Amino acid sequence: MNMPRISHFAVALILGAVIARAQTPAGEASRGKDLYDKKYLCSACHGFSGQNGVGARLVPMKLTQAGFMAYVRHPHDTPTGMPPYTAKVMPDQELADIYAYIKSLPDSVKKAKDIPVLNDILNNQK
């Protein structure tokens, strides 16, 4: 079969649009932190600041809330290794809280040249 390849972002956006109409509860970052860090251990693969680990970098978060929720529910078709979390095991409200928390995380990334230690290592490559 010659199916066009759709990126997981595109899938997430399409699904997100569908779900968006049905439910996108407002999330609360303070609740989301505990869920992210401890209850669901999102931190296991994405790091406590959403930047380090075997999972994808989460900051800056480019997905809309609806897109994010759609992706977490249906990550199967992507090659990322992210397991699915259904509404049964992670209610919409909690997922929205997690999204709000990720959005609240600092998202600036330094350049190696702005970090003296790394700049030194960088200079040795030149």
Partner 1 sequence: MASSSKKTNSVGRRGFLRGAAAGAAALAAKPPEAANAQPPQQNVIANATATTPTQAALNVDVGNGRPIPGINGIALSPGSDYMVDVLKQFDFEYVVANPGTSFAGLHESLINYNNNTNPEFLTACHEESAVSMAHGYAKIEGKPMLVLLHADVGIQHASMAIFNAYADRVPIYMIAGNWGHAVQAHNAQDMALMIRDMIKWDDEPRSLAGFADAAQKAYTIAMMPPMGPTLLVVDEDLQEMTNKEVNLRVPKFKPIQPPSGDLGSVREAAKLLVNAENPVIITGRSARTANGMTLLVELAELLQAPVSGGDRMNFPLTHPLSGLGIPGAQADVTLALEVNNAPLSRNGGRTINISSTILSVKNNYQDVGDRYAAADIDMAADAEATLPALIEECRKLVTSDRKRAFEERGKKLAEAHRQAKLKDIELAAIGWDASPVSLNRLYGELWPFIKNEDWSMVSWDGFMGGWPRRLWACDKHYHYIGAQGAGGMGYGAGAAVGAALANKKHGRISINVQTDGDLNYAPAVLWTAAHHKAPLLTIMHNNRAYHQEVMRLQRQATSMNRGADRIHIGTKLWNPEIDYASIAKGYGMYAEGPISDPKDLAAAYKRGIERVKNGEPALIDVVTQPR
113 and 120 Cβ atoms separated by less than 8 Å: no
Does 77 participate in binding partner 1 (rule CB under 8 A)? no
Does 39 participate in binding partner 1 (rule CB under 8 A)? yes
DSSP string computed for 29-77: HHHHHHIIIIIS-THHHH-TTSSSSSS---SS--S-HHHHHHHHH--TT
Q: Looking at 9, 31, 49, 61, which residue binds partner 1 (CB under 8 A)? A: 49
* Closest distance to partner 1 from the beta carbon of 60 (Å): 12
Cα–Cα distance for residue pair 105/102, rounded to 1 Å:
5
Does 109 participate in binding partner 1 (rule CB under 8 A)? yes
Structure tokens given for 59:
């900051």
Instruction: Name which of 22 and 54 has its Cβ closer to partner 1.
Output: 54
Instruction: Name which of 6 and 44 has its Cβ closer to partner 1.
Output: 44
Cβ neighbours around 79 below 10 Å, total: 7
Does 8 participate in binding partner 1 (rule CB under 8 A)? no
Q: Looking at 25, 28, 29, 40, which residue binds partner 1 (CB under 8 A)? A: 40
Half-sphere exposure of residue 115: CA atoms within 13 angstroms, side-chain side: 8
Footprint on this chain of partner 1 (rule: CB under 8 A) = 38-41, 43-45, 47-49, 51-54, 57, 83-86, 88-90, 106, 109-112, 114-115, 117-118, 120-122, 124-125
